[in-house]
Amino acid sequence: MKLSDNTPVSMPMRNLLSIIAAVGVGVWFAFGVIERLNNIETQQTLIEKDLEGAVEFSIKWPRGELGSLPADSEQFMLIEHMAGQIEKIQKQIEAGMHNKVNIEFLQKQVEKLQTQLEKIQEEHRSIKANGTYK
């Protein structure tokens, strides 16, 4: 048997249609798989770019190379303001401690003066009682 491109083939039409349908389904399936692979590769490329950006961010953010958030700046300003207030309060406390020393000293002086006043009043009463007072 010799085969060539002119060799006639006799086949029922049903078989020919089945073969054409099978080839069509195969082509459709192959293109579906290729399309799915293209989608997955595109997603992978996008994810890699996002991951590179995230890694760069996670490295540069702690170093301060990307600036700071407005909330961070506000917190730093509040901390500086509170530090100034704490310094003022510490100075007031120190001044209060000096005042305490002064108050204790003055209390002792007042007690001495009261003791002396009581002695003078007793002497005055004794002079008045003896009648030598005028």
Checking if the pLDDT of 122 tops 80, the result is yes
Q: What is the pLDDT of residues 7-37, one digit of tens each?
A: 887 888 999 999 999 999 999 999 999 999 9
> Are the CB atoms for 124 and 133 separated by under 8 Å?
yes
- 132 has a pLDDT exceeding 80: no
Q: Answer yes or no: are the C-beta atoms of 127 and 133 closer than 8 Å.
A: yes
Q: What would the pLDDT profile of 48-98 be if each residue is shown by its tens digit?
A: 999 999 999 888 888 878 777 777 788 889 999 999 999 999 998 888 788
Torsion of Cα atoms, 27 then 33 then 35 then 39, to 10° = 180
pLDDT class of 108 with cuts at 50, 70, 90: very high
